[in-house]
Amino acid sequence: MSGHSKWSTIKHKKAKEDAKRGKIFTKLIREITVAAKEGGGDVAGNARLRLIIDKAKEVNMPQDNIVRAIKKGTGELEGASYEPAIYEGYGPQGVAIIVETLSDNKKRTVSDLRHLFSKFGGTLAESGAVSWMFEHKGLIKITADNLTEDDVLEKMLDYNIDDVSMDDGIISISCDVADLDKVKKGARSAALKIEDASIEWIPKNTVEVTDKEKEESVYKFLETINDLDDVQNIYANLV
């Protein structure tokens, strides 16, 4: 499957570090608020909200924080109004980038992104400029342990999945976004150890930066963008 890369591994490890420091709470609270605003606060009837709350519980977010975020989304409590947006562009070495944001001030967000893209030799582009190079997919990451790709595929035959692949001890199951909730439940029923379940932009093809110094500059750019408060996720077609 396309999309497995060193950057994907870095993001995965960084998310674990951020979770230990509680740094991920802010991003998850924003996601919960927006999911509740768009789909309602009933977890049973809002698959996206259910997915994010599962993530919040995995990083030990207090239940009170979750409840408050839902109530802010449904309007029961006052709070900042976050609007989702997607930005596309080219980073250093022409790497295609998709940035997902949740912001209460889009002018600030655009200004911050434009500054950093320019600083690292990249450029923001028009909507659709690079998204055609990616597929919007549900992605479930499973701890491999002693499992092979075939083992997981056999366990998931009854579910509508697109592909199964292994990278750095993690087995990834990709599926249609609409099927993510069902596939996640199926993986759990099959006693698979779920590391993460999310909706991601997976590159159809990847590019490789062979020069070590140039490669490091690309990773530095990606990590700097990823650290912006308004940025929820960043995807790249980098090997």
For 135-186, the pLDDT digits (tens) are 999 999 999 888 999 999 999 999 999 999 888 788 999 999 999 999 999 9
- The pLDDT, as a whole number, for residue 40 is 96
Q: What is the CATH number of the domain that holds 94?
A: 3.30.70.980
Helix (H, G, I), strand (E, B), or coil: what is residue 111? helix
pTM of this prediction? 0.88
Domain-located, residue 232 = yes
Using alpha carbons only, give the angle 18, 185, 5 rounded to the nearest 5 degrees: 45
- The pLDDT, as a whole number, for residue 167 is 81
Name the residue with higher pLDDT: 1 or 221. 221
Token pair, residue 208, equals 């490789």
Whose tokens are 């750095």? That residue is 168
Q: Residues 177-196: what's their mean pLDDT?
A: 93
Same domain, 44 and 95: no
Domain-located, residue 7 = no
**111 is in which domain, residue-wise?**
83-132+205-236
Same domain, 180 and 62: no
- The pLDDT, as a whole number, for residue 59 is 86
Same domain, 139 and 119: no
* 127 has a pLDDT exceeding 90: yes
- The phi and psi torsions of 78 (rounded to 5 degrees) equal -75, 150
CA distances from 239 to 8, 12, 222 (A): 9, 15, 13
Domain-located, residue 116 = yes
Domain-located, residue 88 = yes
Domain-located, residue 113 = yes
Q: Alpha-carbon distance 50 to 60, whole Å?
A: 15
